[in-house]
Amino acid sequence: MTELFEGREIVVNALVGSHAHNLQTPESDRDFKLFITPTFEDLFNGTMFSFADISDTVDFSVHDVRKLGEQIWKGNINFLQVLFNPEGTHDNGLDFLFENRERIAQANIPNFLNSTMGMHREKMSTLHKGTGNTQHLIEKFGFDTKQAHHAIRCLFTIEKFWETDSMEKALWFNKGKKRTILMDIKAGKFTEAEVKAIAEEWFAKKWDGEMKKNFCDTELNWSVKEELNNFIFEFVKKKILG
Protein backbone atom coordinates (compact mmCIF):
# COMPACT_ATOMS: atom_id res chain seq x y z
CA MET A 1 0.00 0.00 0.00
CA THR A 2 1.36 3.43 -0.93
CA GLU A 3 -1.66 5.69 -0.41
CA LEU A 4 -1.26 8.64 1.94
CA PHE A 5 -3.66 10.55 4.16
CA GLU A 6 -2.37 14.00 5.10
CA GLY A 7 1.18 12.79 4.64
CA ARG A 8 0.72 9.60 6.64
CA GLU A 9 0.86 6.19 4.98
CA ILE A 10 -2.39 4.20 5.00
CA VAL A 11 -1.56 0.67 6.16
CA VAL A 12 -5.08 -0.72 6.78
CA ASN A 13 -8.32 0.01 4.97
CA ALA A 14 -11.09 -2.11 6.53
CA LEU A 15 -14.82 -2.35 5.97
CA VAL A 16 -16.57 -2.15 9.34
CA GLY A 17 -20.07 -1.37 10.61
CA SER A 18 -23.22 -3.22 9.60
CA HIS A 19 -21.68 -4.61 6.38
CA ALA A 20 -18.93 -6.26 8.42
CA HIS A 21 -21.53 -7.99 10.60
CA ASN A 22 -23.88 -9.02 7.77
CA LEU A 23 -26.52 -6.76 9.29
CA GLN A 24 -26.81 -4.16 6.56
CA THR A 25 -29.98 -2.96 4.89
CA PRO A 26 -30.22 -1.39 1.40
CA GLU A 27 -30.06 2.00 3.15
CA SER A 28 -26.95 1.22 5.21
CA ASP A 29 -23.88 3.34 4.66
CA ARG A 30 -20.57 1.63 4.03
CA ASP A 31 -18.27 2.32 6.96
CA PHE A 32 -14.49 2.11 6.77
CA LYS A 33 -11.69 2.37 9.28
CA LEU A 34 -8.33 3.48 7.94
CA PHE A 35 -5.13 3.13 9.93
CA ILE A 36 -2.03 5.15 9.21
CA THR A 37 1.58 5.14 10.38
CA PRO A 38 2.59 8.08 12.57
CA THR A 39 5.05 10.69 11.43
CA PHE A 40 8.22 11.47 13.39
CA GLU A 41 6.48 14.62 14.61
CA ASP A 42 3.57 12.52 15.94
CA LEU A 43 6.00 10.37 17.90
CA PHE A 44 7.99 13.35 19.18
CA ASN A 45 4.87 15.20 20.32
CA GLY A 46 3.23 12.07 21.75
CA THR A 47 0.12 12.50 19.63
CA MET A 48 -2.08 10.09 17.67
CA PHE A 49 -3.65 11.42 14.51
CA SER A 50 -7.40 10.91 14.07
CA PHE A 51 -9.99 12.07 11.58
CA ALA A 52 -13.60 11.21 10.72
CA ASP A 53 -15.90 12.08 7.84
CA ILE A 54 -19.57 11.24 7.31
CA SER A 55 -21.39 11.42 3.99
CA ASP A 56 -24.70 10.14 2.65
CA THR A 57 -23.18 6.88 1.39
CA VAL A 58 -19.75 6.34 3.00
CA ASP A 59 -18.50 7.00 6.53
CA PHE A 60 -14.84 6.64 7.36
CA SER A 61 -12.50 7.30 10.23
CA VAL A 62 -8.72 7.44 10.29
CA HIS A 63 -6.59 6.31 13.24
CA ASP A 64 -2.96 5.84 14.15
CA VAL A 65 -2.00 2.17 13.74
CA ARG A 66 -0.79 2.23 17.35
CA LYS A 67 -4.40 2.69 18.41
CA LEU A 68 -5.32 -0.52 16.59
CA GLY A 69 -2.95 -2.45 18.81
CA GLU A 70 -4.27 -0.76 21.95
CA GLN A 71 -7.94 -1.30 21.15
CA ILE A 72 -7.46 -4.92 20.09
CA TRP A 73 -5.95 -5.64 23.50
CA LYS A 74 -8.83 -3.79 25.17
CA GLY A 75 -11.28 -6.10 23.38
CA ASN A 76 -13.13 -3.30 21.61
CA ILE A 77 -15.36 -5.06 19.06
CA ASN A 78 -15.38 -1.99 16.82
CA PHE A 79 -11.63 -2.50 16.37
CA LEU A 80 -11.54 -6.29 16.63
CA GLN A 81 -13.77 -6.44 13.57
CA VAL A 82 -10.97 -4.78 11.59
CA LEU A 83 -9.05 -8.07 11.82
CA PHE A 84 -12.07 -10.00 10.53
CA ASN A 85 -13.36 -7.56 7.90
CA PRO A 86 -14.85 -9.32 4.85
CA GLU A 87 -13.12 -6.97 2.46
CA GLY A 88 -10.29 -4.50 2.67
CA THR A 89 -6.55 -4.18 2.29
CA HIS A 90 -3.55 -4.00 4.58
CA ASP A 91 0.17 -3.51 4.36
CA ASN A 92 2.05 -6.79 3.98
CA GLY A 93 4.05 -5.85 7.03
CA LEU A 94 0.91 -6.36 9.13
CA ASP A 95 0.28 -9.93 7.94
CA PHE A 96 1.11 -11.21 11.43
CA LEU A 97 -1.98 -9.50 12.89
CA PHE A 98 -4.37 -10.98 10.34
CA GLU A 99 -2.80 -14.43 10.25
CA ASN A 100 -3.02 -14.69 14.06
CA ARG A 101 -6.25 -12.75 14.51
CA GLU A 102 -8.17 -15.37 16.52
CA ARG A 103 -5.31 -15.92 18.96
CA ILE A 104 -4.78 -12.19 19.37
CA ALA A 105 -8.49 -11.40 19.66
CA GLN A 106 -8.93 -14.01 22.38
CA ALA A 107 -5.93 -12.98 24.48
CA ASN A 108 -7.97 -10.68 26.72
CA ILE A 109 -11.46 -12.09 27.09
CA PRO A 110 -12.19 -10.21 30.36
CA ASN A 111 -11.59 -6.89 28.58
CA PHE A 112 -13.66 -8.04 25.58
CA LEU A 113 -16.48 -8.82 28.00
CA ASN A 114 -16.20 -5.56 29.95
CA SER A 115 -15.88 -3.48 26.79
CA THR A 116 -18.85 -5.13 25.07
CA MET A 117 -21.03 -4.99 28.17
CA GLY A 118 -20.09 -1.34 28.60
CA MET A 119 -21.06 -0.65 25.01
CA HIS A 120 -24.40 -2.38 25.58
CA ARG A 121 -25.15 -0.22 28.62
CA GLU A 122 -24.07 2.95 26.84
CA LYS A 123 -26.31 2.22 23.84
CA MET A 124 -29.29 1.42 26.05
CA SER A 125 -28.81 4.69 27.94
CA THR A 126 -28.97 6.77 24.74
CA LEU A 127 -32.21 5.47 23.23
CA HIS A 128 -33.77 8.91 23.49
CA LYS A 129 -30.77 11.14 22.74
CA GLY A 130 -30.53 10.62 19.00
CA THR A 131 -27.97 11.96 16.56
CA GLY A 132 -28.17 13.89 13.33
CA ASN A 133 -28.62 10.57 11.55
CA THR A 134 -31.06 8.94 13.99
CA GLN A 135 -33.30 11.74 15.24
CA HIS A 136 -35.88 10.75 12.65
CA LEU A 137 -36.03 7.27 14.20
CA ILE A 138 -36.96 8.74 17.57
CA GLU A 139 -39.65 10.83 15.92
CA LYS A 140 -41.03 7.81 14.07
CA PHE A 141 -40.70 5.03 16.67
CA GLY A 142 -40.34 6.90 19.95
CA PHE A 143 -36.75 5.69 20.49
CA ASP A 144 -33.53 5.21 18.58
CA THR A 145 -33.96 1.80 16.97
CA LYS A 146 -30.42 1.88 15.57
CA GLN A 147 -28.92 2.29 19.04
CA ALA A 148 -31.23 -0.45 20.35
CA HIS A 149 -30.04 -2.70 17.52
CA HIS A 150 -26.40 -2.11 18.51
CA ALA A 151 -27.17 -2.68 22.19
CA ILE A 152 -28.72 -6.10 21.62
CA ARG A 153 -26.02 -6.99 19.07
CA CYS A 154 -23.46 -6.61 21.85
CA LEU A 155 -25.25 -9.22 23.97
CA PHE A 156 -25.68 -11.59 21.04
CA THR A 157 -21.98 -11.21 20.16
CA ILE A 158 -20.99 -12.29 23.67
CA GLU A 159 -23.35 -15.25 23.46
CA LYS A 160 -22.12 -16.28 20.01
CA PHE A 161 -18.51 -16.20 21.18
CA TRP A 162 -19.48 -18.41 24.13
CA GLU A 163 -21.19 -20.85 21.77
CA THR A 164 -18.50 -20.99 19.06
CA ASP A 165 -15.23 -20.00 20.78
CA SER A 166 -14.53 -17.98 17.63
CA MET A 167 -14.38 -14.20 17.42
CA GLU A 168 -14.90 -14.36 13.68
CA LYS A 169 -18.14 -16.32 14.08
CA ALA A 170 -19.23 -14.11 16.97
CA LEU A 171 -18.93 -10.93 14.92
CA TRP A 172 -20.66 -12.26 11.78
CA PHE A 173 -24.40 -12.92 11.84
CA ASN A 174 -25.54 -15.63 9.44
CA LYS A 175 -29.22 -16.16 8.76
CA GLY A 176 -31.03 -17.26 11.89
CA LYS A 177 -33.07 -16.11 14.87
CA LYS A 178 -30.51 -13.67 16.25
CA ARG A 179 -30.00 -11.94 12.92
CA THR A 180 -33.77 -11.73 12.36
CA ILE A 181 -34.29 -10.14 15.77
CA LEU A 182 -31.54 -7.59 15.15
CA MET A 183 -32.84 -6.65 11.72
CA ASP A 184 -36.38 -6.33 13.08
CA ILE A 185 -35.21 -4.10 15.94
CA LYS A 186 -33.45 -1.84 13.47
CA ALA A 187 -36.58 -1.72 11.29
CA GLY A 188 -38.73 -0.65 14.24
CA LYS A 189 -40.73 -3.87 14.50
CA PHE A 190 -40.12 -4.03 18.26
CA THR A 191 -41.29 -1.44 20.78
CA GLU A 192 -38.84 0.03 23.27
CA ALA A 193 -40.41 -2.09 26.02
CA GLU A 194 -39.95 -5.23 23.92
CA VAL A 195 -36.29 -4.41 23.29
CA LYS A 196 -35.71 -3.95 27.01
CA ALA A 197 -37.50 -7.24 27.64
CA ILE A 198 -35.13 -8.99 25.21
CA ALA A 199 -32.16 -7.63 27.17
CA GLU A 200 -33.68 -8.56 30.53
CA GLU A 201 -34.42 -12.09 29.33
CA TRP A 202 -30.88 -12.46 28.00
CA PHE A 203 -29.35 -11.50 31.33
CA ALA A 204 -31.73 -13.79 33.23
CA LYS A 205 -31.45 -16.85 30.99
CA LYS A 206 -28.10 -16.54 29.24
CA TRP A 207 -25.80 -14.53 31.45
CA ASP A 208 -26.56 -15.54 35.03
CA GLY A 209 -24.94 -18.96 35.08
CA GLU A 210 -22.11 -20.94 33.55
CA MET A 211 -21.37 -18.44 30.77
CA LYS A 212 -20.75 -15.58 33.22
CA LYS A 213 -18.54 -17.72 35.44
CA ASN A 214 -16.54 -19.02 32.49
CA PHE A 215 -15.91 -15.54 31.11
CA CYS A 216 -14.96 -14.09 34.48
CA ASP A 217 -12.56 -16.95 35.22
CA THR A 218 -10.68 -16.60 31.93
CA GLU A 219 -7.09 -15.46 32.46
CA LEU A 220 -5.39 -12.78 30.40
CA ASN A 221 -2.68 -13.94 28.03
CA TRP A 222 0.03 -11.43 28.86
CA SER A 223 2.50 -13.03 26.46
CA VAL A 224 0.24 -12.10 23.54
CA LYS A 225 0.06 -8.50 24.80
CA GLU A 226 3.86 -8.34 24.83
CA GLU A 227 3.98 -9.96 21.40
CA LEU A 228 1.42 -7.49 20.06
CA ASN A 229 3.22 -4.47 21.54
CA ASN A 230 6.58 -5.59 20.17
CA PHE A 231 5.12 -6.24 16.74
CA ILE A 232 3.48 -2.80 16.47
CA PHE A 233 6.66 -1.19 17.80
CA GLU A 234 8.84 -2.88 15.18
CA PHE A 235 6.35 -2.16 12.41
CA VAL A 236 6.22 1.57 13.19
CA LYS A 237 9.98 1.69 13.70
CA LYS A 238 10.58 0.18 10.27
CA LYS A 239 8.10 2.57 8.64
CA ILE A 240 9.75 5.59 10.25
CA LEU A 241 13.40 4.62 9.90
CA GLY A 242 13.12 2.50 6.75
Q: Quick check: 115 and 105 in contact, CB under 8 A?
A: no
198-218 burial string, b = 16+ CB within 10 Å, else e?
Answer: bbeebeeebeeeebeeebeee
**pLDDT tens digits, residue range 110-120?**
899 999 999 99
Tell me how far apart the alpha carbons of residues 9 and 177 are, in angstroms, rounded to a whole number: 42
pLDDT at 130: 81
**pLDDT tens digits, residue range 19-45?**
999 999 988 888 999 999 999 999 999
pLDDT at 1: 54
* Mean pLDDT, range 234-241, rounded to an integer: 94
Chain centre to alpha carbon of residue 74: 11
Average pLDDT of the chain is 92
pLDDT at 30: 87
**pLDDT tens digits, residue range 50-97?**
998 877 667 889 999 999 999 999 999 999 999 998 788 999 999 999
Tell me how far apart the alpha carbons of residues 83 and 66 are, in angstroms, rounded to a whole number: 14
Tell me how far apart the alpha carbons of residues 68 and 76 are, in angstroms, rounded to a whole number: 10
Confidence of residue 212 (pLDDT cuts 50, 70, 90): confident
Q: Which amino acid is at 18?
A: S
- Map out the domains of the chain with their CATH numbers: 4-107+221-241 (3.30.460), 109-217 (no CATH)
